[in-house]
Amino acid sequence: MNIQFHKYQGAGNDFILIDHRTSDLKNIDNTLVKKYCDRRFGIGADGLMLLLNHKDFDFEMVYYNADGNLGSMCGNGGRCIVAFAKQLGIIDSEANFLAVDGPHYAKISASGNWVDLQMINVNHIDKDGNAYVLNTGSPHYVEEVVNLKDMDVFTAGKNIRNNEIYKVQGINVNFVEDKGDHLFVRTFERGVEDETYACGTGVTAVALSMAKHLHQIGYIETAVEVLGGKINIKFDYDGERFTNIFLCGPAEKVFKGEM
């Protein structure tokens, strides 16, 4: 059986996308997904997504982590699947789709490679020592550091992700350095179990956490630099709740193929 796929990336966070409305791929298990995502013996990706029909939305997004397990919300993946839907002719300039954390709205540029994706509202942020803990569709740990460029993010992130508090459910670990006019962020992602070039729900969590930390109120725009490029976060914050959150960034097709 030959499966058609498309490869997309959003700020270096890369994904395998399959149009599952017509795909012959019937029995999807974590072994198969893990094989497809393997960078040595498969296509290679941080995750795999299926695009499905849904009677109440433009489409439904089903996301698998690179370890083969069903994942929580993926922000960069969400932007990429919107670009994929435009390529397939399902949408034009806007999309309303369903993901694991609920409905999402998105706007896409005429070129099809820049997407503004609305994320879920965030009603509270917890603390773990000096770090912030919150859920932006996926659970995140946010810690402010200095000299992030030279930090061993893999070791530090892995240790936090697997400590007594988080090892059962797992958590994505973000380190942030405030550069003044932008934030520099590096992330260790659960499910990939490694540092990735970008994490959409992660940079969202960082932007919200830093707004709380800096006591910013009102409409806020935050520029974020990640290893794979630049992403913008826009949101409203009234001192308690974060609403109208948009994750804005690239979503580009890399290639298509057959597996």
User: Is residue 138 within 8 Å of residue 72, measured between CB atoms?
Assistant: yes
Confidence of residue 259 (pLDDT cuts 50, 70, 90): confident
pLDDT at 24 over 80: no
Residue-level pLDDT at 166: 97
Confidence of residue 221 (pLDDT cuts 50, 70, 90): very high
Domains of the chain, each with CATH number or no CATH: 4-118+252-258 (3.10.310.10), 126-249 (3.10.310.10)
Residue-level pLDDT at 29: 82
Confidence of residue 252 (pLDDT cuts 50, 70, 90): very high
Question: Is residue 248 flagged as an active site residue?
Answer: no
- Mean pLDDT, residues 17-44: 89
Annotated active-site residue in 37, 74, 80, 248: 74
Confidence of residue 84 (pLDDT cuts 50, 70, 90): very high
Q: What is the pLDDT of residues 8-17, one digit of tens each?
A: 999 999 999 9
Question: Is residue 37 flagged as an active site residue?
Answer: no
> The tokens of 232 are what?
């913008």
Q: What is the pLDDT of residues 109-155, one digit of tens each?
A: 988 899 999 999 999 999 999 999 999 999 999 999 999 999 999 99
pLDDT at 3 over 90: no
Confidence (pTM): 0.96
Residue-level pLDDT at 2: 84
